[in-house]
Amino acid sequence: MIEARPFAGLGGADHGWLRARHHFSFAGYSDPARMGWGRLRVWNDDEIAPGTGFDPHPHRDMEIVTYVREGAITHRDHLGNEGRTVAGDVQVMSAGTGIVHAEYNLEPVATRIFQLWIVPDRRGAAPSWGTRSFPRAGREARFEVLASGRPGDAAAGALAINADAAVLAATLPAGGALRHALAPGCMAYLVLARGAARVNGVALGARDGAAISGEEALAIEAGAGADAELVLVDVAAA
C-alpha cells in the first residue's frame, strides 16, 4: 500500500521567520489519522529566514535527524557541541536523558530543512550530537544510508541513532529509474525534496509524501522534466 500525501494537504503554520509544514500532527496541527508512521513520529518541512532560528529548548528520549535541503543550519547544545550542517548533509541528535539545544540560520539566505523525529528503542540513553557530509553525487541512482540504528550501517559511514530505523537519500536524473528493497516487516515514508517521480506507479511531486506499508520493494521513476531528490525512512512498526 502506498498512500500519497500531497504537500498542499499538509498541516502547517507561518510564524514569519519560520514557515513550517507537517506530515504528521505537530505543535498546533492535530490530525488523529496522522500521529506518525511506525516509529516515525515527526516529519517537518521547515523554511527558516536568515538570521533567525530556534532559541535554546529541551528534548528527551527522541532521535532527531535533520536533512538540510538548502542553506545551512548551525547547532549549539548544553553539552558543548557546536557545528554547521550545509545543504545535502545531515545532523543527528539523540536526546536520550535530556539535551538543551538551539538551531539558527546564520546564512544570508533562507535555510530549508526536513526534520525527522524517531522514537528510540529504549529510553534513558546518553544524549549525543553529530553531523556528516553526504555529497549528492555519491548517491546518484541509489539510496545511501545517512543515519541508522541497524547493524553494519554505522561501519559503512551512516550516523548512528538509537532506533530500529534507517534514513536514506537518493538523487535520480530526469527520466532515470531505481529499485530499492525494503526491510521485511517494516514501514517506510518517502518525501521528494525536489523533482517529480512515480513510486510503484503512484505519482508524487516536489515535497509530497508517501506512506508505504506491505511493499517488498520500490520501483522509482523520475519525471522527465527535472532531476529528483528523495529522502526515505525505513522504520520498524510502533
Q: For position 181, what pLDDT does the model report? A: 95
pLDDT of residue 137: 84
Handedness of CA 47, 142, 233, 76 (dihedral sign): negative
Q: Which amino acid, one-letter code, is at 199? A: V
Q: Model confidence over 29-87: pLDDT tens digits? A: 999 999 999 999 999 999 999 999 999 999 999 999 999 999 999 999 999 999 999 99
Q: Which strands, in side-by-side order, build the sheet including 177-181?
A: 177-181, 217-222, 197-199, 202-204
Predicted local distance difference test score (pLDDT) of residue 237:
86
Q: How far apart are CA 161 and CA 153, in angstroms?
A: 10
**Regions in the chain scoring below 70 on pLDDT:** none
Can you give 158-227 as a three-state secondary structure string?
A: CEECCCCEEEEEEEECCCCEEEEECCCCCEEEEEEEECCEEECCEEECCCCEEEECCCCEEEEEECCCCC
Three-state DSSP string of 19-59: EEEECCCECCECCCCCCCECCEEEEEEEEECCCEEEEEEEE
Q: How far apart are CA 156 and CA 88, in angstroms?
A: 18
pLDDT at 238: 75
Strand order of the β-sheet with 82-86 is 52-59, 99-105, 72-77, 82-86
**Residue 113: predicted pLDDT:** 98
Residue 62 pairs in a beta bridge with none
How do the domains of the chain map onto residue ranges? 2-235
The CATH superfamily label for domain 2-235 reads: Jelly Rolls (2.60.120.10)
**Grid coordinates of 156:** 559503512
